Amino acid sequence: MSTLFISDLHLDASQPQITKTFFYFLEHIASTADTLYILGDFFEMTIGDDDDNAFTQSIIRALSRLTASGVPVFLMHGNRDFLMGKAFAQRAGITFIPDPTIIELANQKILLMHGDSLCTEDKSHQRFRKIVHNSIVQKLFLSLPLSFRRKIANQMRKRSIQTNSTKSASIMDVTESAVDAAIKKYHASKLIHGHTHKPNLGEKRIVLDAWHDHGNYLIIDQNGKAELINIPH
């Protein structure tokens, strides 16, 4: 009996090897688990459920096969894929969960987050996060023609790469005070998050790795033992 966690896959049609590894993970690893949690930045970029291209359809089919087999999948929005909506969830058979979310495993209260809200020193990102998570802003963006949304999203992505290249690694990392405050607020035993791409298996905080060079996941067994595992595929 096990629970799996992944994040920061940044799935994109231009990265077929990552997609192939994800399909392998679903078929050979997640299929034997009790539950799968995806903690944000599942896609590199989303611009609305009506962007129903062949790549997105392949991801939906893969997820729906897993959920139809009886493995529940819970997905948290990240800072790249926050425009995944109800249509995507229904077709894939997944359930969206808010950031943050509390779960209980092996008699432990565990706090799940994407992680970007903990990077409190990154002031520009926090401003951006506040804007794009505004429901009115999202509604206005989704009302634009699909081609225009795609153009805006690509421009924003390029600007993000340029901006992040000038930031120090410490600014883009979580702050310990924010971590401690979150754990205290939710009376959690442990925090699990992604976003920073700095994998770590600590007593207080577990950080999930990104899927840039290889796939990976966190497994927590019925006794509460946690292990970060790379996918050899």
- In whole angstroms, what is the distance from residue 58 CA to residue 146 CA? 20
Sign of the alpha-carbon torsion through 142, 133, 207, 105: negative
Check residue 233 and give its pLDDT: 62
Per-residue model confidence (pLDDT) at position 166:
77
Cβ atoms of 96 and 76 within 8 Å: the answer is yes
The pLDDT assigned to 186 comes to 97
pLDDT along the chain (233 residues), means of 10: 96 95 97 97 94 95 98 95 94 97 95 96 91 92 94 86 77 93 97 95 96 94 95 78
According to the model, what pLDDT value does residue 128 have? 87
Topology of domain 2-230 in CATH is: Purple Acid Phosphatase; chain A, domain 2 (3.60.21)
* pTM, to two decimals: 0.94
Give the Å distances, CA to CA, from 217 to 121, 126, 146: 27, 27, 33
Please check whether residue 186 is in contact with residue 161, taking contact to mean a CB–CB distance below 8 angstroms: no
Q: Can you say how many angstroms the Cα of residue 35 is from the centroid of all Cα atoms in its chain? A: 15
Domain residue spans in the chain?
Answer: 2-230
